[in-house]
Amino acid sequence: MTDTLSTAVSHELDENALLEAYRTMRTIRAFEERLHDEFATGEIPGFVHLYAGEEASATGVCAHLDGRDSIASTHRGHGHCIAKGVDVKAMMAEIYGKKTGSCHGKGGSMHIADLSKGMLGANGIVGGGPPLICGTALAAKQRGTGGVGVAFFGDGASNQGTTLESLNLASVWNLPAIFVAENNGYAEATSSSWSVAADNIADRAAGFGMPGVIVDGFDFFAVHEAAGEAVQRAREGGGPTLIEVKFTRYFGHFEGDQQTYRAKEVAEARAKLDCLKRFRARVTETGQVDAARLDAIDTQVADLIDAAVEEAKAAPKPTAADLETDVYVSY
Amino acid sequence: MARTISYREALNEALAQEMERDESVIVLGEDNAGGAGSPGEDDAWGGVLGVTKGLYHRFPGRVLDTPISESAFVGAAIGAATRGLRPVAELMFIDFMGVCFDQIFNQAAKFRYMFGGKAETPVVIRTMYGAGLRAAAQHSQALYPIFTHIPGLKVVVPSSPYEAKGLMIQSIRDSDPVIFCEHKAMYDTTGDVPEDSYTIPFGEANVVRDGDDVTVVAIGRMVSVAEEAARELSTSGIEVEIIDPRTTSPLDEETILESVENTGRLVVVDEATPRCNLATDISALVAKEAFGSLRAPIEMVTAPHTPVPFSDALEDLYIPDAQRVANAVKSVAGWTR
Amino acid sequence: MGEPAVTVGAVANPASGRDIRRLVAQASVFPTAEKANMVQRLLAAFGTVGVDRALLSTDLGGISAAVLRALHRRRGRDGAWPQVDFCADDEITGTAQDTVNAVRRMVAAEARLIVCLGGDGTARVAAQACGDVPLLALSTGTNNAFPQLREATVAGLAGGLVATAAVSPAIGTRRASVLEVSAGTRTELALVDVCASTERHVGSRALWHPGTLTELFCTFAEPDGIGLSSVAGQLCPSPRSTPDGVALTLAPPDEATWVVHAPIAPGLVAPVGVRSWRPLVPGERVSLGARGGVIAVDGERELELRDETATVLLRADGPRCVDVRAVLAEAARTGLLRVRNPEGSVNDDGHLVHGGQPRAR
């Protein structure tokens, strides 16, 4: 039986890997907190959904991925983009609706994508991503690349038929797919404890013949380990896995959400559970990383975000000539 | 060398030739092989109407049966298309678009624009449409106008075995998402089809019949209905020019306008229901761009604004026939101020 | 109506049975509905042996809600349950604190038995809060060394007989040993085993890479156990009934004295290298050899060590556990669950002497 088990693999991270993980989480946090402030000035158009608080999920999962692998994201997609290596400055410009953006200003916050990085896009449709990931996983399997597909989706999407169909299809086709259910407690303003009839999203995995596990989404190491096992299993032909990541989002559903439906859990989570605080405490206490190196990353990230905002603000908007381009490859 | 084969065989041959030519082409859909997981034979069906029959054994591992989960497998085809495959997914009946439309119009159709021109999604969604098999309201509709409405999709409506093969090969080679609409009453229609592979470009209408009196634009199976009417009208001295647009998106506006500029009279024959269909769209085009050439009001021959009825007595009334087309042509031909 | 005489408590953990062992081993998800059914089977047993009141934990996972629903739907023919009350005074946190709070409430309500449904982790938390009240830990998972995988009705009968004092504690319960592990100011209790690993982080908690294990301490080690204690179970068994335990020094298989093929998780029979072992006696405090790494208690990583060492102490004063087999053997011996019809009231052929009707069969 041990051939199905990964007794050989270890998910120990060396110092560089720890620093990279921290940099990714810190970049996501700084990006989102800055957007929260900038959105309040009225300069950012449209709908913005922030990922702050959930950094350990995107970071812990994407740490196992490489160029062969693809991910699909959600409307709360900035963190997944950053973790999969999408250019931060281009992302910021995109959110400002600028021509220099990842999508030349035609996508916006909800549609940032970089297919060259295997990032299939943030997605404005709840439950839009899982079917696509069945396809990217199928492509990897058919072409024999060893790649995997990862569908990030929320507790809201866990109730969508597209998601449930995809879990079934991934299992039927034995796809190298990982379904990461990011349960942040709320689908818009509706509590997942009310809307998810199964109590735990992970419990649904059993109905689709795949393992389902729950991990502490505030703990980078917990996510990293579970994702590592799931990715390795998928690469080895073991089929799909459902991972439920539980945590709390720090901001509202969208920027501007007054969050009258929420209790005091955010302040508590920020104080006691925060993934960045815990990561820093643990790697410095174990002596794996010197705190000064983390401080240096904080400074570098702050500078990057400052520059990204500054450049985004200064960048040109797309023009009328851009309106009708890029609908088709040829028409 | 051309020989006579059916619409079904023409499609099968197009798929086979493209799968032979390009390893990245795969076929997937409900019972596209048939018999998955069952004790009996594999490739039991080859699609519910046999279009993909035989491909399963000829191209091992590249014909995939799916659960009845249109969102998941149409979405999967779209996702796979972004990662180097050229999938041909079968949405069994066009009526089933309701259970997977998001993946088509919010995902596939928008990737390229929404992502700033950086995405290519070479997916073909084959689907059967149309009335005539007593398949009733949920299995008989002509819904290609809905797809035509969506920027980012290409929509193909082949009218004969020859068209079916050339347009299918073109669809597979095209780098944009294509909705390929096959009329279910035409699978056994036969016609001359070259054995060799060939393509028919999108956005180039076929002038099926020349005539100077009335322009008839007909979509899909309505082309043969128009031809039947034209033969009868010719005996009474009215020569119609029949235009088959082949693709409703892109639409060959030029060929239509040139013809109307010559005849001054237009009838559009469309099996779809009458509001916001190809008949209204082409009529609006002509009214706007060739108003000065029109010598009579435009006539539209369409289905009524109803669901497709089941009873043969009603369904036969529902589908536009040669008599209605002929009547419409006569009315515009004889129209005077 | 006065205060009911015999109260018992039952706490069910809604989160158990969902950890990473579903992914790295073939552990199964233990459904909420089945946990609720177990509670109901307990209640049926309690009702039979004369428990007056059952105090149940509450949760947001759906267990207490399902029991409440069942309570409302009960009909007379369903048999007697004790009076059912819920511990609803504490805020539900979704953490182990909920188990602690519920058990404390039950102890304060003078419960004479605490039933705990969950895995090793749940039992450990309950054991720390239940004091001297007899504990009956039932497994709601597949990877548990301490809680017993038992039919809840049978276990409920045994627990109920202890609670009502029909079977004396001296016969029906036994004192478990515990391992106390301390590092700096932090202390954890283990009911089954303490294991040191070179892994750095608590991570997803379970421990399934045998190559990282360095030292193992067990309160007991059964040859038919599951989990890390099974390593000792196949090498140097130590029964639950004695206070002694065992201590093992582990090593990579190619550097070890013995290699034990042990079921360290469901579906995972792994070669574990053992360099040496020795008995562990209560009261002996042992320093762990390595600095750093993590300490797992009952198979779950709990303590991340900084630049410090930890000590382990075997204590004989663990929870008082219900011995289901011993209780029911005593019940059989003394006839607690049987009644003999009056002498001569039934003929040999099964007909009542006075009614002339056949006995219902």
- pLDDT score for A6: 40
Which of B164, B194, B224 is the C-terminal boundary of a domain?
B194
**Cβ–Cβ below 8 Å for B78 and A135:** yes
Residue corresponding to tokens 């990714």? A24
C-alpha radius of gyration, chain A, whole number: 19
Q: Does residue A328 form part of some domain?
A: no
Q: What is the DSSP string of A95-145?
A: HTT-TTSTTTTSS-GGG--BGGGTB----SSTT-HHHHHHHHHHHHHHHT-
Q: Are residues B179 and B49 in the same domain?
A: yes
Q: Does residue B286 form part of some domain?
A: yes
Q: A296 and A302 in contact (C-beta within 8 Å)?
A: no
- pLDDT score for C206: 85
> Across chain B, what does the average pLDDT equal?
97
Q: Does residue B199 form part of some domain?
A: no
- pLDDT score for A2: 32
Closest chain C residue to A224, measured at CA = C203
User: CB of C24 within 8 Å of any CB in chain A?
Assistant: yes
Residue B77, domain CATH = 3.40.50.970
Q: A69 and A148 in contact (C-beta within 8 Å)?
A: yes
Taking only the tens place, the pLDDT of each residue in A98-145 is 999 999 999 999 999 999 999 999 999 999 999 999 999 999 999 999
- pLDDT score for A7: 40
Question: Measured between CB atoms, which of B102, B111, B174 is closest to A125?
Answer: B102
User: Nearest CA to C179 among C232, C253, C252, C143?
Assistant: C232
Identify the weakest region by mean pLDDT among A232-241, B7-16, B236-245, C76-85.
C76-85
Residue burial C180-202, b: 16+ Cβ < 10 Å; e: rest = bbbbeeeebbbbbbbbbbebbbb
Instruction: State how far residue A291 is from chain B, nearest Cα, in angstroms.
Output: 39
Q: B174 and B202 in contact (C-beta within 8 Å)?
A: yes
Taking only the tens place, the pLDDT of each residue in A44-61 is 999 999 999 999 999 999
* SS3 of residue C286 by DSSP: strand
Report the C-alpha gap between A8 and B299 in whole angstroms. 75
Q: Are residues B33 and B177 in the same domain?
A: yes
The residue segments making up the domain with residue B124 are: 2-194
Question: Measured between CB atoms, which of A211, A221, A285 is closest to C203?
Answer: A221
- pLDDT score for C1: 45
Closest chain B residue to A135, measured at CA = B76
C7-175+323-334 architecture in CATH?
A: 3-Layer(aba) Sandwich (3.40)
Instruction: State how far residue A146 is from chain B, nearest Cα, in angstroms.
Output: 13
Domain total of chain B:
2
With a CB-CB cutoff of 8 Å, which residues 222-261 of chain A face chain C?
A: 222, 224-226, 229-230, 233, 241, 243
Q: Does residue A330 form part of some domain?
A: no
Q: What is the DSSP string of A6-36?
A: -SS------HHHHHHHHHHHHHHHHHHHHHH
Which of B135, B162, B194 is the C-terminal boundary of a domain?
B194
- pLDDT score for B305: 96
Report the C-alpha gap between A210 and A191 in whole angstroms. 26
Domain total of chain A:
1
Question: Cβ contacts of residue A5 below 8 Å, gap of 6+?
Answer: C24, C25, C208, C267, C268, C270
Taking only the tens place, the pLDDT of each residue in A180-210 is 999 999 999 888 888 888 778 998 998 999 9
Q: Which residues of C touch A225 (CB under 8 A)?
A: 20, 203-204
Q: Are residues B16 and B162 in the same domain?
A: yes
Q: Are residues B50 and B173 in the same domain?
A: yes
Q: Does residue A110 form part of some domain?
A: yes
- pLDDT score for C352: 67
- pLDDT score for C205: 85
- pLDDT score for A258: 86
- pLDDT score for C269: 93
Map out the domains of chain C as residue ranges. 7-175+323-334, 178-315
Q: Does residue A70 form part of some domain?
A: yes
Residue A63, domain CATH = 3.40.50.970
Q: A142 and B61 in contact (C-beta within 8 Å)?
A: yes
Report the C-alpha gap between B72 and B167 in whole angstroms. 26
User: What does the pLDDT average to over B206-224?
Assistant: 98
Eight-state DSSP code of residue C163: H
With a CB-CB cutoff of 8 Å, which residues 266-295 of chain A face chain B?
A: none
Report the C-alpha gap between C172 and C168 in whole angstroms. 6
Taking only the tens place, the pLDDT of each residue in C197-256 is 999 888 888 888 888 999 999 999 999 998 999 999 999 999 998 899 999 999 999 999
Residue corresponding to tokens 């090498």? C235
The reported pTM is 0.86
**Cβ–Cβ below 8 Å for B116 and A104:** yes
End-to-end CA distance of chain A: 55
Question: Measured between CB atoms, which of B87, B115, B175 is closest to A121?
Answer: B115
Pick out chain C residues at pLDDT < 50.
1, 361
Eight-state DSSP code of residue A316: P
Question: Cβ contacts of residue A26 below 8 Å, gap of 6+?
Answer: A276, A297, A298, A301
State how far the alpha carbon of C280 is from the alpha carbons of A55, C68, C285, in Å: 44, 46, 9
Report the C-alpha gap between B59 and B124 in whole angstroms. 18
Taking only the tens place, the pLDDT of each residue in C151-162 is 999 999 999 999
User: CB of A278 within 8 Å of any CB in chain C?
Assistant: no
Q: Does residue A289 form part of some domain?
A: yes
Write the ipTM: 0.88
In the sheet with B25-29, reading across from the earlier edge strand, the strands are B63-65, B25-29, B86-93, B124-129, B178-183, B154-156, B247-249
Residue burial C210-239, b: 16+ Cβ < 10 Å; e: rest = bbbbbbbbbbbbbeebbbbbbbbbbbbbbe
The reply to whether CATH 2.60.200.30 applies to domain C178-315 is yes
**Cβ–Cβ below 8 Å for A139 and B85:** yes
Whether pLDDT at B36 is above 90: no
pLDDT-based confidence at residue A8 (cuts at 50, 70, 90): very low
Residue B293, domain CATH = 3.40.50.920
Establish whether domains C7-175+323-334 and C178-315 are of one fold: no
Identify the weakest region by mean pLDDT among A85-94, B105-114, C59-68.
C59-68
Report the C-alpha gap between C78 and A331 in whole angstroms. 72
**Cβ–Cβ below 8 Å for C203 and A211:** no
**Cβ–Cβ below 8 Å for C61 and A200:** yes
User: Nearest CA to A122 among A217, A167, A58, A42?
Assistant: A58
Q: Does residue B312 form part of some domain?
A: yes
The residue segments making up the domain with residue A83 are: 2-322
Which of B170, B194, B218 is the C-terminal boundary of a domain?
B194
Question: Measured between CB atoms, which of C19, C61, C304 is closest to A286?
Answer: C304
Q: Are residues B220 and B185 in the same domain?
A: no
Active-site residue numbers of B?
139
Closest chain B residue to A324, measured at CA = B113
Q: Are residues B175 and B212 in the same domain?
A: no
User: CB of A70 within 8 Å of any CB in chain B?
Assistant: yes
